[in-house]
């Protein structure tokens, strides 16, 4: 076996080595995070059998350390050749000028077309008209629901808009089926964010220079979100106070729960056999019908510092094939970003996955600014204060704009400097 897993930073520092000692094989340094890194390790022998001139050295990283390690490697000129990074990191590394534009390589790769990808997934890697990343796996969030409890309350089909959704929550609660209509952990920003992108106005304005949270559309989102707590349809708790979300869902503490595709397997595994057909997934309701959501996941990037980009791109193109995407889905449940992969019979027959496929057609990227993750955390903090009654909707919107504008101050300065020095 020619491939081997690197276990320390030493191999990362060898990323500039174009050839190995055994001959003329090109050595590609790949970093991969989390459980997916373990799956890639299983795939690499197949890649190397079909690409005998390339040796891949894989370093597995925990997600908790990956971002800092990449920044450290960038500062030390020790980046690997290729990494699947979180989609919200793409703008940051593009701003550092660390990423290789991929448009020419994509155009020259048969079968790798933008049209085969869900629009939001592909757009995640496009910054200022240039493509810097190719989606590897994707996720979004939508409601899991107790079909049996809702049917008992007279709700026979999934609601499609906010008003019908709130009515359904109230009906199941009044029927005694659930203590609460929905679980919205107050220490998570994702449910509110996914509701917020269903509106027509962007979350940031003026090219990402300022927050746009005082817009009428975002205040409408805040009002709907707050109404669920004020009406007693959602408990004012964070997820640390829910000892086991699967058990609570199974016993009927709540009838809706917004989560990602990883929970399909978890609910199947953790719920009792008698509830096997009692739950399902559904499209995320919007203000006036099925709405958008945030698309997450990871995408492959090549770093400008790589000295063997052709070999690294060959690895990216191979891992991006539907066969490899389907293997990743089979082993860990990650969703393929290519529509063609969804024609696989096993995936196409999965009703719970199908709701995600429908949602992914409407999913959109998070705002493409390096500071977005900090802004999202401020959204969580401010929303929690609003739910607790310390802020009104208008006050929460104004406070979020204030915090966001402070975070973006350096970005505005840099953009203004660039404008002043441009020829």
Question: Residue 17: pLDDT band by 50, 70, 90 thresholds?
Answer: very low
Q: For 341-355, how does the pLDDT look when each residue is reduced to its tens digit (9 = 90+)?
A: 999 998 999 999 999
Question: Residue 403: pLDDT band by 50, 70, 90 thresholds?
Answer: very high
Mean pLDDT of 3-17: 38
165 vs 19, which has greater pLDDT?
165
What is the pairing mode between strands 363-364 and 293-294? Answer: parallel
The pair phi, psi for residue 85, each rounded to 5°, is -105, 160
Distance CA 69, CA 311 (A): 23
Q: What is the pLDDT of residue 10?
A: 34
Closest CA to 34 of 320, 334, 240: 334
Q: For 60-114, how does the pLDDT look when each residue is reduced to its tens digit (9 = 90+)?
A: 999 999 999 999 999 999 999 999 999 999 999 999 999 999 999 999 999 999 9
Q: What is the pLDDT of residue 13?
A: 38
Q: For 276-327, how does the pLDDT look when each residue is reduced to its tens digit (9 = 90+)?
A: 999 999 999 999 999 999 999 999 999 999 999 999 999 999 999 999 999 9
CA-to-CA dists, residue 420 to 257, 289, 415, 416, 417, angstroms: 49, 45, 9, 6, 5
Ramachandran bin of 206, using left for φ above 0, alpha for ψ from -120 to 50, beta for the remaining angles? left
Tokens 């959501």 sit at which residue?
293
Tokens 């990743």 sit at which residue?
328
Asked if the model's pLDDT at residue 422 lies above 80, the reply is: no
Q: What is the pLDDT of residue 416?
A: 78
Q: What is the pLDDT of residue 414?
A: 83
Question: Residue 7: pLDDT band by 50, 70, 90 thresholds?
Answer: very low
Alpha helices in 305-371 (DSSP H): 309-319, 322-332, 345-348, 351-360
Q: What is the pLDDT of residue 417?
A: 75
Structure tokens, 326? 């389907």
In the chain, the domains with their CATH numbers are: 4-140+295-349 (3.40.190.10), 142-292+369-414 (3.40.190.10)
The pair phi, psi for residue 182, each rounded to 5°, is -150, 150
Average pLDDT of every residue of the chain: 92
Asked which of 8-22, 188-202, 248-262 is least confident by mean pLDDT, the reply is 8-22
Asked if the model's pLDDT at residue 1 lies above 60, the reply is: no
Q: What is the pLDDT of residue 23?
A: 56
Q: For 124-138, how does the pLDDT look when each residue is reduced to its tens digit (9 = 90+)?
A: 999 999 999 999 999
Q: What is the pLDDT of residue 418?
A: 64
Q: What is the pLDDT of residue 200?
A: 79
pTM value is 0.90
Distance CA 315, CA 67 (A): 22
Q: For 363-380, how does the pLDDT look when each residue is reduced to its tens digit (9 = 90+)?
A: 999 999 999 999 999 999
Question: Residue 25: pLDDT band by 50, 70, 90 thresholds?
Answer: confident
Mean pLDDT of 207-212: 96
Q: List all residues 6 or more positions away from 115 whose beta carbon is below 8 Å from its beta carbon.
A: none
Q: What is the pLDDT of residue 24?
A: 77
Instruction: Work out the percent of the chain whose per-residue pLDDT is above 70.
Output: 93
Instruction: Work out the percent of the chain whose per-residue pLDDT is above 90.
Output: 88
Distance CA 122, CA 135 (A): 6
Q: For 222-246, how does the pLDDT look when each residue is reduced to its tens digit (9 = 90+)?
A: 999 999 999 999 999 988 888 799 9
Asked if the model's pLDDT at residue 183 lies above 50, the reply is: yes
Burial 349-375 (b: 16+ CB within 10 A, else e): ebebbebbbebbebbbbbbbbbbbeeb
Q: What is the pLDDT of residue 85?
A: 97
């Amino acid at each position: 076996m020619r491939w081997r897993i690197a276990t320390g930073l030493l191999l990362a520092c060898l990323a500039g080595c174009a050839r190995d000692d055994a001959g003329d094989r090109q050595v590609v340094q790949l970093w991969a995070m989390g459980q997916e890194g373990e799956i890639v390790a299983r795939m690499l022998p197949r890649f190397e059998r079909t690409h005998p001139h390339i040796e891949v050295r894989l370093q597995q990283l925990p997600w908790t350390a990956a971002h800092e390690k990449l920044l450290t490697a960038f500062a030390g000129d020790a980046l690997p050749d290729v990494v699947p990074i979180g989609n919200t990191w793409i703008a940051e590394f593009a701003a550092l000028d660390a990423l290789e534009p991929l448009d020419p390589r994509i155009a020259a790769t048969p079968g790798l077309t933008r049209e085969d990808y869900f629009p939001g997934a592909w757009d995640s890697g496009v910054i200022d008209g240039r493509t810097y990343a190719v989606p590897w796996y994707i996720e979004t969030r939508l409601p899991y629901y107790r079909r049996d409890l809702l049917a008992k309350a007279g709700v026979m089909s999934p609601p499609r808009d906010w008003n019908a959704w709130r009515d359904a929550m109230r009906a199941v609660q009044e029927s005694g089926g659930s203590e609460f209509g929905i679980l919205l952990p107050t220490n998570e920003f994702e449910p509110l964010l996914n509701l917020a992108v269903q509106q027509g106005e962007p979350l940031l304005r003026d090219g990402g220079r300022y927050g746009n949270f005082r817009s009428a559309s975002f205040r409408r989102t805040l009002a709907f979100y707050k109404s669920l707590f004020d009406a007693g349809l959602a408990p004012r708790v964070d997820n640390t106070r829910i000892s086991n979300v699967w058990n609570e869902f199974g016993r009927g503490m709540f009838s809706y729960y917004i989560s990602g595709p990883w929970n399909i397997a978890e609910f199947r595994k953790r719920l009792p056999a008698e509830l096997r057909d009692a739950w399902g997934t559904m499209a995320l309701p919007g203000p006036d019908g099925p709405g958008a959501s945030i698309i997450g996941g990871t995408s492959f990037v090549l770093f400008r510092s790589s000295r063997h980009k052709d070999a690294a791109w060959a690895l990216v193109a191979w891992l991006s094939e539907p066969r490899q995407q389907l293997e990743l889905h089979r082993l860990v449940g990650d969703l393929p970003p290519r529509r063609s992969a969804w024609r696989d019979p096993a995936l196409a027959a999965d009703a719970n996955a199908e709701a995600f496929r429908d949602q992914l057609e409407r999913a959109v990227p998070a705002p493409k600014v390096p500071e977005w993750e900090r802004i999202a955390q401020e959204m969580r903090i401010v929303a929690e204060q609003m739910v607790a009654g310390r802020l009104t909707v208008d006050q929460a919107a104004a406070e979020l704009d204030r915090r966001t504008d402070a975070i973006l101050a350096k970005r505005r300065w840099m953009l203004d400097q660039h404008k002043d020095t441009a020829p």
